[in-house]
Structure 1
Amino acid sequence: MRSADLIRFNMRLLTRQWFRTLMILLATSVGVAAVLLLTGLGEGARRFVLEEFSLLGQDTLIMLPGRKETTGGLPPLTGEGTRDITLEDVNALGRLPGVRRVAPLIVGNAQVVSGGLNREVVTLGTSARFFELRELSLQRGRSLPDEPLERASSVCLLGPEVKQSLFGNTPALGEWLRIGDRRFRVIGIIEDRGQSLGMDISDQVIIPVASAQQIFNVQGMYRVFLQLAPGASIEATRQQILDLMQQRHGGERDVTLISQDALLGAFNDILQLLTLSVAAIAAISLVVAGILIMNITLISVSQRTAEIGLLKALGARAADVRLIFLSEAALLSLLGALFGFALGYGLLWAGQLVWPVFPVSVPLWALLGSLAIALGVALLFAWLPASRAARLAPVLALRGEAQHA
């Protein structure tokens, strides 16, 4: 039987049994769409996280208090140490020849009051170098003063959301507000850049690091960002930093240095594994579609017994009969996969409209894999009823009996 004749024969059959065809197409398309949707979201999450951490730059190191050994797993995001990283340590790090910029960071929640309005806001204590290192810009006003880290100046910068909630549409520059138990004068409004490294700068207040120490009653730094000098070797500078901190902390190496490459590599591996896991879970729905194809094909064999007998009486071989049922299952799975592609990409496109900053994309392996699984499962589950039809004796089949020869 020619391929064109086989396709026409199956298409007439599928349109004649439209309800059965619709059920199989629906089951297959939902399974394929689920694979595309979950892998697209997983791949989007992976790209989103990697883009966020890539903002640090390859020449930036993050120092955490406490030492934690890593052996190929996720670099530690928290550290536990008996000795704080002090402002004196930060100043000493800034004097290393391989270090270009050092930005200390203290993070805490503080009550911010302006007039009769107040709200709890994430407050960052840092220095002017933090703006240069993180490439932050201002809507208006000026950045933190470039002065010694130990000076607790009473100035602050507001994110646009904080400014709007406290001052509305009135100008905020030059106004005074209270953060914790201290008064600060607003000297700048930060440009909104959305989420970055898990922090929404637009909804935060930035003050000098020494002022943050007083408000939160802490001495140690939460993090220290170190940007390497141009041409400096990462490994050599990294060793210099660790040696200096060990010397200043009484011979104990109690800090952890994280590079961007370590973060990106670890997060990439984890998110790829998660994407594969959710894709495997979604692929289970294609197995359910295959079981449906098998059941309907078994029913079709019993209903078409006389037709099978006629084909065999006209000279059709057992392989031809088997091919008819297998090609029918393959055609159904391919059509269902195409509908699934349209549904999956449509949902992802709608999600992109709702959240445009999320870089949704479907990897090629998910596209080809879902198609291969849909086709493979359909042929696998259709093989048993197709073989049953191929074994029918022509005479018995013509009489409408489904006994095996």
Structure 2
Amino acid sequence: MIKLVDRWQFSLKVMAMYPGRTLVLVLAVAIGVSSVLLLTSIGEGARLYINKEFNSIGSDLLIVLPGKKQTSGGSLPFYSTTPRELTWRDALAIKQLSNVEFVAPINAGTALVSAGNLSREVITIGSTSDFLIVRKLVLAKGRGFYHSEQQRIRHEAIIGSKLKKSLFGDARAVGQWLNIADRRYRVVGVLKERGESLGLDMRDMAIIPISSAESLFNSTALFRIIVSLKQKSREEVTKQQIINLIKQRHDGEEDITIVSQNAMMDAFNNITQVVTIAIGVIAGISLLVAGFLIMNVSYISVVKRKAEIGLLKAIGASSNEVQLLFLQESSVLTIIGAVLGVTLGYALVFTSNAFIPYFSLAIPLWSTLTTLIVAVLISIGFTWFPAKKASSLDPVIAMRGN
């Protein structure tokens, strides 16, 4: 019977005797493992990025959308024709509800914004002073809108830092005039540098009072209404109150859809998790390729080492022990390759995060553990038949090398 220590020593000596084979197998496994980890880190990074964006604007928000959701069971709503549009007056009515703290009606469109000879076409949002609060936007310079400016057409604007840089450079923007479409607006505030939030670049946008936006876009229809709650625990009650209120104001028609921030975040999480698993499985094909390589090399090894196998069986090694020797060699090579692959994967992620800090990759723990286990199982599975063939060799014939 071959002792465990002897088996390990034997495996290490064999690997040293065939350095080329050892290097190829280790690299094949390492590349497969690192590929899986790198691709799943992209999916996990996307999930964490989305969560960070949602958390940055709070989890106590409700988004009121025009149109009634017509499908069930899906995450993305499809809407029917809206009998009546959501208006600023609807938003004012919602704000009177007991559990509502802030309400930001949004009238949005794209418009050409210019100052002097410089111009940019950017998203222009019409809203109230509550918009800065619910979106957690901070002013670097100037002020927000006064309540009185929301109720009458005031040609005043708050601009993002990127838009300010494009139009005014390093000069002071607050107090200066710019054109939005064919209207003149005075800059009263500049947003602090923040970047994109849920796909909306806050640096490259203009915010004007809701009443001015209605005049600019010649429409009182709202894109959506963002509602901030006082107590998150009363979210469902407040949602029903909003539905009943709008139904009453819209001639008995339930023509809105209310989406909570948490529901949207859960939907995105589900999507990114499925995508992460899918790309992990696709990347796992590289491990299968490594498995076929291990099997072919193992078959060649059996042919080359017939005399050695015959000698082992002649001195008393059983067929099971011979088979176990080959499986152990393969497992050791796979473990070395897997550890190298994990190290390489984490190193690539660390390097990526250093150069691209705004989108951090993250390797989920389940991906690391699953990849290691699958790599070892693939190694054992693909080495099984070559090892079985080695164990079934007749010792006399094998020692002749035939």
* Counterpart for residue 353 of structure 1: 354
User: How do 1:2-401 and structure 2 match up within 5 A?
Assistant: 2-69=3-70, 71-76=72-77, 80-147=81-148, 149-230=150-231, 233-401=234-402
Q: Answer with 392-401 or 198-207: which moved more.
A: 198-207
CA distance in 2, matches of 1:77, 1:114: 40
Distance 1:240 1:318 in 2: 76
Supply the distance in 2 between the matched residues of 1:47 and 1:34 (Cα, whole angstroms): 20
1:99 Cα deviation (Å)?
1.5
SS at match of 1:202: coil
CA distance in 2, matches of 1:106, 1:178: 18
1:70–1:76: 8 Å Cα contact kept in structure 2? Answer: yes
In structure 2, relative to structure 1, the CA distance for the partners of 1:156 and 1:47 (3 Å cut) is: same
Gap change, CA 1:355 and 1:79, over 3 Å in 2: farther
Q: In the TM superposition, what whole-angstrom CA distance separates every residue of 1:170-215 from its partner, at most 9, and x where no partner exists?
A: 1111110100110001111101112212111111111112222222
**What is the CA–CA distance in structure 2 between the aligned matches of 1:62 and 1:221, rounded to whole Å?**
12
Q: Distance in 2 between matches of 1:396 and 1:22?
A: 31
Contact 2:71 2:78 in 1 (8 A): no
CA distance in structure 2 between the partners assigned to 1:344 and 1:78 by the alignment: 44
Of residues 266-275 and 329-338 in structure 1, the stretch that sits farther from structure 2 once superposed is: 266-275
Give the letter for the 1:291 counterpart: F
Instruction: For 2:311 and 2:253, locate their aligned partners in 1 and report how far apart those are by CA, in whole Å.
Output: 89
- Cα 1:359–1:78 shift into 2, 3 Å: farther
Q: Which amino acid aligns with 2:395?
A: P
CA distance in 2, matches of 1:333, 1:17: 15
Instruction: After superposition, give the CA deviation of every residue in 1:114-133 in whole Å (9 maximum; x if it has no partner).
Output: 00111111111111011111
Q: Which amino acid aligns with 2:364?
A: P
Q: Unpaired segments of 5 or more residues in structure 1?
A: none
Give the counterpart letter for 2:84 in structure 1.
Answer: R
8 A Cα contact 1:75 1:263, kept in partner: no
Paired with 2:79 and 2:33, the residues of 1 have a C-alpha distance of 40
Q: Distance in 2 between matches of 1:253 and 1:231?
A: 23
The one-letter code matched in structure 1 to 2:262 is D
Partners of 1:51 and 1:347 lie apart in 2 by: 22
* CA gap 1:231/1:319 in 2 versus in 1, 3 angstroms: closer
Contact 1:56 1:260 in 2 (8 A): no
Corresponding letter in the other structure for 2:114? V
Q: Deviations over 1:350-379 (max 9, x none)?
A: 111122132422222111100011000000
> Aligned letter for 1:125?
G
Counterparts of 2:59 and 2:175, CA distance in 1: 37
Q: Post-superposition shift, 1:386? A: 0.3
Unpaired runs of 5+ in structure 2? none
CA distance 1:58–1:78, change in 2 (3 Å): farther
Given that 1:54 and 1:260 are in contact with CA atoms closer than 8 Å, whether structure 2 keeps it comes out as: no
In structure 2, what is the Cα distance between the partners aligned to 1:219 and 1:237? 25
Residues 320-340 of structure 1 show CA distances to partners (whole Å, capped at 9, x for unaligned) of 111111011101110110111
Cα distance between partner residues in 1 of 2:369 and 2:231: 44
- The aligned amino acid for 2:100 is V
